[in-house]
Structure 1
Amino acid sequence: MIKIVFLLFMAIPLWGFAQPGGEVIMTIDNQPVLKEEFVRLYRKNNQNLMAGAEKKSPEEYLDLFINYKLKVYEAQKLGLDTLPEFRNEFRKYRAELAKPYLNNAEFTEAQVETAYYRTTHEIKASHLLLLLDEQAAPADTLAAWNKLMELRKQVLEGADFNELAAQYSQDPSAKQNKGLLGYFSSFQMVFPFEDAAFKTLVGEVSMPVRSRFGYHLIKVHDLRPAAGQLKVAHIMKRIPPDTSEEAVMRMKHELDSLGMLARRGADFAQLARQHSDDQRSASVGGELPWFTRGNMLPEFAEAAFALPADGAISKPIRTSYGWHLIKRLEHKPVPPLEEMRESLIDQIRRNPDINRLNHETLINRLKLDWDYRPFEDNFDEFARQAERAITGGRIQPADISPAEELLFSFSNGNITFADFARYLAMNRFEQSATFHSQLKQLYEQFVAKKLMEAEDEQLEEKHPEFRHLVQEYHDGILLFNLSEKRIWQVAAEDSLGLERYFKQAKYKYLWGERFQGWVIQCQSQEERDFVDQVLAADSQLPVEELKDRFKIEFNKELTAHKGAFEKGDHSLVDHLVWFGPKPTDFIEHLHFIHGNKVGPQPKTLHEARGQYMADYQQYLENNWIKELRKKYRVKVNKKIIESIESVK
């Protein structure tokens, strides 16, 4: 985590020395640095600064730029970029940075717009589910499809969808709800289901839809604008099983009376604390978390969203839990797209079904970009040989020939039987009816892997901004590793050097005005007299000894503290020394202090170690920069610097 923070907050991220071409703004040890690099980084490091005073002119930025370049150059001269641990770490960072570039950006943007539309709308639907394992055999998959097509035909001919769902659906809840799911919006259902539902017109039935649970038929009943989010408080009267109708009505009348009191000005929160059976919400005045119409009990949600304004109170509403009296507290409409964009992107990226579709779309695009050409007849031949080459559950690559026969080709090269066989060698197989389909699935994964590797290899060339970002991390890691050795580790281990530095600057960090002495709380005058007597005899005794004597004398604990207190450290000291407000539990004459107010004093090295350590690190870095400027010659073209426009 420290390293990531260092990378993000270094003043100047840079990348490498210049390639030929362009204006040379400076040289370091005769290595050219281009104006384009300086300008890009100067603007990047100034554009996000809010205060004008923090922004630097190109001339002011130059020293920071040179210092950073010197450190990176020193790290390269020392060969830190050739060490295996550096290469492994850099490889991991690059892989993370590459992820956004190895997806279908257009697809993601389309998904953001689609997700926003579905966030601003709610769809009411029913479904009929036939459970099916994701790895089900083709025959089982076909049987489920055909069964749903038969049921769909019955619906289209007039059969009641919900009655069929109650009879045939394998969703456990279908017996009670007959497949009715109520209203939902974006990200509340698995994506293939959500996608199919929103693409089905109101009143129509979808074709069979495959999700990770199985196959669904979906009937859409309604589509309406989303109402946003609501915050309410409620008072609930729980209705236990077998409650008589007379008792149920008494509960309703009680809520009627409470509602009347609240509308006349009684505190709804206090009424909830006193009368609600929902103990969790009653403790906070009946308040419930924010909810949408789709993630609350339908009866409750409809009544709550029907309230016309904040402060409005409903009539008693009955749900499966009991009777509710609802008060609207606050309403938030669905935010505009730009406010929701980042959260929508985050939800899209974390959704496994969308990721799968995103990946498939990307691979299809890469097949076109890289001129992918499969040899399907050769795949069938490979499959026959592979099944015969299974020994001990694994395919033996040596038993497959001819090894150089092509499976597919693309712009980056040709892929042979031997290449695919080596890829398969770590998988376990059985000679069965599903072998061919299993092999086909692995083949598609292998094709995707080779295409992604090819795309990954040319990201720096294809995306200049990615090349710059990768180099920034490359140099940032180098600088972190070298700074750790030259500054942070030295400062942490050089206790004598830190002590010498402290002696030179020990008046830099001072305590403010403080009270030094005792802070004591007694419960009786007798206790106070005893403590005064002990402290008069020896005010320097340890706090534990005073407590021990008090324990022996009164057989109870004494509340006592001893030390140096700045303003704000202790409420009793603030009141008695700096005339602050009285503490809520203050007892005159029995809660007291014993000691003196002292003026500003230097902090010891122990007391201000963190501050002095930071200063010592800066001291070491300043000396290091001086060494580097002597070691490597820096030559700057000042005319080019003067030609660069300052960031406003």
Structure 2
Amino acid sequence: MRFVKYLILLLPLIIFISCSSQKSSLVVAEFDDFKISLDEFENAYSQNSGGFENAKNDSLPELKNFLDLYVNYKMKLRDAFIRGLNADPEMKKELADYKANIGKTLFLQDNLYEPNLKKLYDRRKTEFRVSHIFLVPDSSRDEKQTLELGKQLIERIQKGEDFSSLAKTYSKDSYTNSHGGDVYYVTAGQINIPAIEDAIFKTEKGAVYPEPVPSGFGFHILKVTEKQPRNASIRAQHILIPFADSSEPDTAKALNKIMEIEQKVKEGFDFGELAMEYSSDKGSAERRGDLGFFSRGQMVREFDEAAFKLNIGEVSPIVKTSFGFHLIKLAEIAPQKSYEEEKQALKEIYDRLRYKNDYNNLVTSLKTELNFVQNNNTFSKILSLSDTLKIGKDYQDSNLKSKAGTDEIFRIGNKSFSCDSLFNRMIHLGTNLNMNVDGELLQDAINEYSDEAVIQVKVNDYDKVNAGFAKLLSDYENGMYLFKILDEEVWSRISIDSAKIYNFWEMTKENFRWRDRVEFKEIHNSKESDINECYKSLTSRVPFDSLFAKYNQRLDYSSRPGLKGMVDSDANELSKQANSMLNPGDVSKPFIFESGWSIVKLIRKDPARIKTFEEAKAEAASILQEKESKRLEDEYMSKLKSIYNPKYYYDELQKAFK
């Protein structure tokens, strides 16, 4: 019985494997000794038609046409290999360069950006209220003693001492120590120091992080006082009753007024109408108190804290800020944006705050994985030989190169990297040109070089573990070969000179025609009164160009103001108006055009006619080149078909995408 249940569970998988196997064995075309399976055809077709589901809706003639093109493509690739293009040194170098450049980008995308951007996105769904005690080394305590003090304070807090009191006593953060160390609410991407952010996310509500966290400025003792889901932004309405100063009578008067309004809200009066009637914030009052969307921290703290505690439709108790007394109603919570919508903004945050740190961690782990070893004997030898040597062309004739150039400076696995390669890289990059070689510069150069090198080692094999990258490389390689083949067989063989173009134009000149065209000038103005005044001046024989300078409001960069050049007579309302006039120099009455008024002056008309050779030359050359290109490619394909004798099994295409 258990076997029968197991078989039932496996049945869909068996059917799927069976279908895939059948499609792999069905042949839709063949040439020479090569067969194209239905499975291969489906993969190629779906990639060019927007996916498998879209392909299901395509007709049999569309499938047949693609099969013809695909067989042609495969035969060209076969010809490229017969010609040895895959062994061509230039081709191999181009492919290697592409692999190195694109591979690094893809490797970092997959192993650094994508996981960390998703982590940042997920982290930003939560916000924390955090307090800290900031300890700074000074003349009374060195760094080690400051760290020890931090540990002692954490121990005292864990034994029950009040965090807030200790913050007021010990914290050097003048902004927060008077508030007991309260930093307020934070989320991922708002803290400049990754170690502090990481510590916060590891700490539960009410707890203190067990170690002082270094920041480069000192040490931080961190406590999480709140942890809750984050609303990225909210939309609220408010009613503001200000007080002119903080004196008790003025404050009491404002408080009484806001209490009266609060009572009206409780009695069911419309909040928006109350805001329009009573709120002193006139900017929002005319919008029924609407403040629009705002995110955490944009408003003063008292207002912010009250607003973000509300549920939709809920009205806050009276809130006092430096502006006065407020009533706040939460109107809307912005929905969480998707990862893809946030991705670019997340990348900007990540690049600014965490990329460098995470990149260093990645290369450090890769160096361990790939057995990176620095040769410190060579390091010392370089320093002893460099003396007064400066980075640059002098290296090639230096004592250092002759005595240590081939020495190993570091090793990654079985691959050795020489002193020569290190200095040549520095010279090529040019970042340290004409600088003296000292221990710090040398170590930095080795670190940068070895960081790049371990990434490149992973990239060299990345196509073996990443199918997408392997496909990308394969497509690029095939594209190189096709370009080379078509260049040799088609493009480089096209020979078109002026005589050929002229003969082609002469034989087909009826195909090169101008429609009725017109040339004119325009004055455009947004005001009817101005354009009428302009027209009145034109009828009084004031020169058109003078009036153009005075009345025209359309941007015009031509050397002849207002001139539109020769255009089809029915191109738009301007050309139609110009074409309706009889004689050059005639001027139209004002007419409405593009949110304003226009006047046009006819310069000349050009009736429909055959283009002269000079007018048609560029167009004729393009058409002739296209015809010649098609002729040569057809000739090349005929040659391939005679060699490979392709066969097409169109009936099998009826089984595609089923």
Determine if the TM-score, normalized by the shorter chain, exceeds 0.5: yes
2:102 counterpart residue number: 96
The CA distance in 2 between the partners of 1:350 and 1:73, in whole Å, is: 45
Distance change in 2, residues 1:546/1:465 (3 Å): closer
Whether the aligned pair in 1 keeps the contact of 2:129 and 2:226 (CA below 8 Å) is yes
Q: 1:119 aligns with which of 121, 124, 135?
A: 124
Change (3 A) 1:626 1:460: same
Shift of 1:307: 4.0
- 1:194: how far off? 1.4
Question: Shift of the alpha carbon at 1:204?
Answer: 2.8
Does residue 59 in structure 1 map to residue 64 in structure 2? yes
**Are positions 1:199 and 2:197 aligned together?**
no
Q: Residue 214 of structure 1: CA displacement?
A: 5.2
8 Å contact from structure 1 (residues 122, 183) kept in 2: yes
Partners of 2:260 and 2:615 lie apart in 1 by 63
Q: Report how far residue 120 of structure 1 moved.
A: 2.7
Q: Distance in 2 between matches of 1:506 and 1:97?
A: 49
Name the SS for the 2:70 alignment partner: helix
Following superposition, the deviation at residue 364 of structure 1 comes to 1.9
Partner residue, 1:300: 303
- Cα deviation code 1:252-307 (max 9, x no counterpart): 66667788899745866993999426x6x679776545344466544223332344
User: How many angstroms does 1:178 deviate by?
Assistant: 4.9
The structure 2 residue matched to 1:470, chosen from 473, 483, 486, is: 473
Aligned length: 578
Q: Pick the aligned partner of 2:321 from 319, 322, 330.
A: 319
Partner amino acid, structure 1, of 2:66: Y
Residue in structure 2 matched with residue 180 of structure 1 by the alignment: 182
Q: Deviations over 1:517-567 (max 9, x none)?
A: 99999968x9699869959xxxxx9xx95696899xxx9889999999979
CA distance in 1, matches of 2:632, 2:404: 63
**Aligned CA distance change for structure 1 residues 610 and 327 (closer, same or farther; 3 Å):** farther
Shift of 1:169: 4.3
| Residues 66/523 of structure 1: CA separation in 2 closer, same or farther (3 Å cut) | same
- Residue equivalent to 1:637: 647
Q: How does 1:344-493 map to 2 (within 5 A)?
A: 346=347, 350=351, 352-354=353-355, 356-357=357-358, 359-361=360-362, 363-365=364-366, 367-368=368-369, 370=370, 372=371, 374=373, 379=376, 381-382=377-378, 384-392=380-388, 397-398=400-401, 404=407, 408=411, 410=413, 412-414=414-416, 445-476=448-479
After TM superposition, the score normalised by the length of structure 1 is: 0.63
Q: For residues 112-136 of structure 1, what are the alpha-carbon distances to aligned partners after superposition, in whole Å with 9 as ceiling and x for unaligned? A: 664454233221112234579xxxx
Query: How much does 1:42 deviate?
Result: 1.9
What secondary structure does 1:328 align onto?
Answer: strand
The percentage of aligned residue pairs carrying the same residue is 19
- 2:238 counterpart of 1:271: no
What letter corresponds to residue 629 of structure 1 in structure 2? M
1:58 to partner: Cα distance: 3.6
> What CA distance in whole angstroms lies between the structure 2 residues aligned with 1:446 and 1:550?
64
Amino acid in structure 1 at the alignment position of 2:127? E
Q: Which residue type is aligned with residue 459 of structure 1?
A: Y
Equivalents in 2 of 1:509, 1:73: separation in Å? 48
- C-alpha distance in 1 between matches for 2:479 and 2:273: 58
**8 A contact 1:58–1:644 mirrored in 2:** no
Q: Deviations over 1:442-501 (max 9, x none)?
A: 6555543332222222223443431220232355577789999959x999x999799889
Looking at structure 2, the residues matched to 282 and 120 of structure 1 have their Cα atoms a distance apart, in angstroms, of: 32
Matched-pair contact (CA < 8 Å) for 2:409–2:419: yes
* Distance in 2, Cα, partners of 1:269 & 1:495: 80
Instruction: Give 1:146-157 correspondences, 5 Å limit.
Output: 146-156=148-158
Task: Label 1:127 to 1:174 Cα distance change in 2 as closer, same or farther (>3 A).
Answer: same
Residue type matched to 1:318 in 2?
K
**How has the CA–CA distance of structure 1 residues 498 and 291 changed in structure 2, closer, same or farther, with 3 Å as cutoff?**
farther
Q: 1:180-235: CA deviations, max 9, x gaps?
A: 22122222223322111110233332212244655432121121222453123446
**Is the partner of 1:204 in helix, strand or coil?**
coil
Greater length-normalized contact order (CA 8 Å, ≥ 6 residues apart) = 1
Whether the 8 Å contact between 1:192 and 1:353 is mirrored in structure 2 is: no
Classify 1:557/1:347 alpha carbon distance in 2 versus 1 (closer, same or farther; 3 Å). Answer: closer
User: How far apart, CA to CA, are the structure 2 residues paired with 1:549 and 1:414?
Assistant: 78
Give how far 1:100 is off. Answer: 2.4
Which residue of 2 is the match for residue 9 of structure 1?
Answer: none
Does the alignment pair 1:224 with 2:228? Answer: yes
CA contact (8 A) 2:133 2:177 kept: no
Q: Where does 1:13-28 land on structure 2 (aligned, <5 Å)?
A: none
Which residue of 1 is the match for residue 133 of structure 2? 128
The alignment's C-alpha RMSD in Å is: 6.6
Which amino acid letter does the alignment assign opposite residue 388 of structure 2?
G
Q: Assess if the C-alpha contact under 8 Å between 1:103 and 1:359 holds in 2.
A: no
Does the 8 Å CA contact 2:132/2:223 hold for their aligned counterparts? yes
User: In the alignment, residue 331 of structure 1 is paired with which amino acid?
Assistant: I
Partner of 2:19: none
- 1:229–1:334 CA contact under 8 A, matched in 2: no
Partner of 2:189, secondary structure, is coil
One-letter amino acid of the counterpart of residue 91, structure 1: D
In the alignment, the residues of structure 1 paired with residue 157 and residue 533 of structure 2 have an alpha-carbon distance, to the nearest angstrom, of 89
The answer to whether the 8 A contact 1:58-1:645 is kept is no
Is residue 626 of structure 1 aligned with residue 637 of structure 2? no
Amino acid of the structure 1 residue aligned with 2:281 = S
CA separation of 1:229/1:504 partners in 2, compared to 1, >3 Å: closer, same or farther? farther
In the alignment, the residues of structure 1 paired with residue 495 and residue 353 of structure 2 have an alpha-carbon distance, to the nearest angstrom, of 47
Q: 1:591 to 1:389 in 2, by over 3 A?
A: closer
With over 3 angstroms needed to count, the CA separation of the structure-2 counterparts of 1:501 and 1:422, relative to structure 1, is same
Structure 2: segments with no counterpart, 5+ residues: 1-24, 392-398, 555-561, 578-590, 603-607
After superposition, the Cα gap between the structure-2 partners of 1:458 and 1:309, relative to the gap in structure 1 and judged at 3 Å, is: closer
Contact 2:126 2:229 in 1 (8 A): yes
Contact 1:389 1:399 in 2 (8 A): no
Q: 1:558 to 1:167 in 2, by over 3 A?
A: closer
Contact in 2 for aligned 1:145/1:215 (Cα 8 Å): yes
CA distance in 2, matches of 1:194, 1:182: 14
Counterpart-to-counterpart distance in 1, 2:181 and 2:347: 31
The answer to whether the Cα contact below 8 Å between 2:239 and 2:275 also exists between their aligned partners in 1 is no
Counterpart residue number, 1:576 = none
Residue 46 (structure 1) aligned to one of 37, 49, 55:
49
- Aligned counterpart for 2:330 among listed residues 325, 328, 331: 328
Per-residue deviation, 1:424? 8.0
Residue 11 of structure 1 corresponds to: none
Partner of 1:136: none
In structure 2, relative to structure 1, the CA distance for the partners of 1:60 and 1:499 (3 Å cut) is same
Alpha-carbon distance between aligned partners in 1 of 2:617 and 2:269, rounded to the nearest angstrom: 62
